[in-house]
Structure 1
Amino acid sequence: MEECRHKKTLRGEDEKKLIINRLSRIEGQLAGIKRMVEKDTYCNDILIQLSAAQNSLKSLSNHMLEQHLYTCVSEDIEKGNIEVIDELIGLFKRFNK
């Protein structure tokens, strides 16, 4: 379970491992795309892989946002810190660009 402390989130080992594994997969996707460009691979094939990488990032972002809501945001609201709502609105605006 995550725990928020002064703009730092203490994540459990399982959560860290999950995030790091997903980031490693995304790094692998990007490295593969780079190789495709170096080999002059057909644009359509590269675009398909770029779309897959974007979807992977979006999925990880959604996961982290969900965890943030369940931990940091709910903790702050329980403590009466409503400024977290402004922070959350900023996050939603970024997600919807």
Structure 2
Amino acid sequence: MPGFHHIELWIADLGSVHAEWSWLLDRVGFTLASEWPTGQSWTAGGSYLTLTESPNLTEPTHDRRRAGLNHLAFRLDDAGAVDSAMAEASSHGWRPL
């Protein structure tokens, strides 16, 4: 089966990113499958994505140019759905790269 099995994103503080990630994942068709004090798991199409607080916070500032995950690209039904999500994104804490 094509596609990814799972992706784990380690973050500094789940509480500080909960609203923006919840909005995005819901918007692109993921469903919250489980939660625990330091993480969440979201599912879609047989794949899952977790947001988990990192136990190593020696460098909590994110820089997408450092080694590690650079970006995720999600698929929506059509260009109109992408345009709509981009129009709403800034009100949910997201900004274009």
TM-score (norm 2): 0.27
Larger radius of gyration: 1
Between Structure 1 and Structure 2, which shows a larger proportion of helix residues? 1
Between Structure 1 and Structure 2, which shows a larger proportion of strand residues? 2
